[in-house]
Chains A and B, each alone.
Chain A
């Protein structure tokens, strides 16, 4: 482990970490304060004017001061949709990782602590789920939901569905890491001591083992948020995620895609840049955290 002071010192001495952290902070603040900062409210249909559609960025011929990054086919300002869309992407990313974390940490603790057939069963399930791939599971489940419900119902539950599906599909990553930490900690003296005093197993698990597994969980979480945002973007791009009237970054790219070839590149390009910056910042921070907190943890065989 590393002290908070050492942690900050390491952070400040690494230019990559500073840039990634700044970008992430900027994007998060932008998303949180979007309702106050954005020039328009893209959800408010009254503010939209179809006459404003497909305007180029303001510095180009035909641009308009009100829309610095131009407008999309529905006349929404691209800057405003990005600010709101980043929020939705982040919300789904963080929400899904919270679901993954709670589910994965709990099941990982149970598997590692209990062992036996519960462990075997959970790990086999984790294997199967990992090899099926989250994106594939999500595509099929969402495709079926879309087929089963009408568009309006689907749109209402889209955020919730995305968080739950991406959350449930990715629990094995957390569970495996926590399980191996538990197996490492399980035979240490303090756990035995707790058992000898007569503390019940559940309390031993939560109170003693959990804090020791937090470091790897923190590292994984960062990278998992990036992956969840990427998965959400892919699903939305396929039309299986967020609907276009409450767009995430992925659905913005989807709605802009058909206009690229007619010359309206800005509808796609700006959300794409923000999406890549967001994922890249999270990935860089995740890698950095892993190097600082736990040099032994590697990506690839997680």
Chain B
């Protein structure tokens, strides 16, 4: 099938998912807190309240209100944050670059470490390095991410004082309004501890996964046949075995996106990293409903987009599945 058909199909799916998420978001808004009280406080009389209620359309039926909400949401209006007194979407998008760069740093770290480590452990099954990595990985899986974070802050930030442990440092604003911390040493140094922490929980999982999958592909008939053809060891390993190892790794990687986003909340909390997760937790503590809903919708959108990209990547590396979601 054609690439456009694939994108179209995925867009339709994405719209449906977003529709459901928005419905959930709206029912939360509808049931949680009174927007009027948040806006005007207690000092306004009962008649004036009723009038405003009517003007704001709060007495309309559920679905009328929902479609108004949806209409606004499509135009980028997810309500106004009670605390910041600014459009909730703007508040969130201001924090998006921080979270994005944190995730980018973490993904960079764990991919560049887990792939070589996983391959090494699959090939040298009985070496002491493999045994060490495998034992360390089960310990790594067992340490909750917030403890790693606390440990990092305490050791490198406080005791040794090598690296900054809180915040993002100074950022540089790019022409399109993106605040980046990647261009200065100060920004990068602030990124190190949080991104190492965030990668620490994914790293052992991926090493184990890549090792297991690589061991499995190394024992397949096509790898044996590749050896029987007299190909070089590196070609057998990297062209024949590793390319097939990538397929399940990409699938599982796609499944980890939700977990990764959840862990950004934990990591950002400990490092006071000014990202979306930190903002979300503050919003929860302040019962800033529009901001909570905006976060859920933005995260839902990120989730849908990344999942589509992962599926797309999967079709690129796996010729057998021309189109995920298509009926075979």
Contacts and interface: CB of A to CB of B under 8 A. Distances in A.
Physical interaction between A and B: yes
Interface of A: 130-133, 135-136, 139-140, 143-144, 146-148, 226, 230, 233-234, 237-240, 250, 253, 257, 260-261, 265, 268, 272, 275-276, 279-280, 283-284, 287, 298-301
Nearest to A268: B150
Nearest to A284: B138
B257 interface: yes
Contact of B262 (A139, A265, A275): A139
B138 A283 contact: yes
B158 A300 contact: no
A226 B142 contact: yes
B33 A230 contact: no
8 contacts: A133-B256, A133-B259, A147-B284, A234-B146, A238-B266, A240-B284, A260-B154, A301-B252
A233 B154 CA distance: 19
Nearest to A223: B141
Given A147-B289, A234-B146, A283-B141, A131 B266 contact: no
Interface stretch (B71-79, B185-193, B204-212, B313-321): B204-212
B246 interface: no
B142 A133 contact: no
A240 B287 CA distance: 13
A232 to B, nearest CB: 10
Interface in B263-278: 263, 265-266, 269-270
B208 A233 contact: no
A276 B262 contact: no
Interface string B134-162: 00001101111111001001100010000
A233 B303 CA distance: 24
Given A234-B144, A238-B281, A253-B146, A140 B296 contact: yes
Contact of A276 (B147, B212, B307): B147
B234 interface: no
Contacts of B281: 238-239
Interface residues of B, number: 48
Contacts of A287: 138
B255 A280 contact: no
A280 B32 CA distance: 40
Interface of B: 28, 31-33, 138-139, 141-147, 150, 153-154, 158, 205, 208-209, 212-213, 248, 252, 254-259, 261-263, 265-266, 269-270, 280-281, 284-285, 287, 289, 292, 296, 299, 303, 307
A261 B147 contact: no
Contacts of B270: 257
Given A131-B258, A238-B265, A233 B144 contact: yes
A233 B144 CA distance: 8
Q: Which of B32, B205, B259 has the most CB of A within 10 A?
A: B259
Contacts of A136: 258-259, 261-262, 299
B31 A135 contact: no
Contact of B147 (A135, A143, A275): A275
Nearest to B211: A300
A230 B144 contact: yes
B265 to A, nearest CB: 6
A261 B154 CA distance: 8
Contact of A272 (B28, B147, B266, B280): B147
A25 to B, nearest CB: 18
Contacts of B256: 133
A299 B252 CA distance: 11
A240 B284 CA distance: 9
B144 A148 contact: no
Contacts of B285: 239
Contact of B32 (A130, A144, A240): A144
A132 B24 CA distance: 15
A253 B145 CA distance: 12
A300 B212 contact: yes
B142 A144 contact: no
B26 to A, nearest CB: 13
B266 to A, nearest CB: 6
Contacts of B147: 253, 272, 275-276
Nearest to A143: B284
Contacts of A280: 138-139, 142
Contacts of A144: 28, 32, 292
B110 to A, nearest CB: 15
B144 A275 contact: yes
A131 B296 contact: no
A297 B144 CA distance: 24
A67 to B, nearest CB: 22
A298 B216 CA distance: 11
A219 B259 CA distance: 23
A283 B256 CA distance: 20
A147 B142 CA distance: 31
Contacts of B205: 300
B292 A298 contact: no
A138 B73 CA distance: 25
Given A300-B205, A301-B248, A135 B262 contact: yes
A265 B145 CA distance: 18
A269 B205 CA distance: 25
A114 B242 CA distance: 37
Contact of B144 (A261, A268, A279, A283): A279
Contact of A131 (B31, B212, B254): B254
A132 B142 contact: no
Nearest to A257: B150
Nearest to A137: B258
A71 B188 CA distance: 38
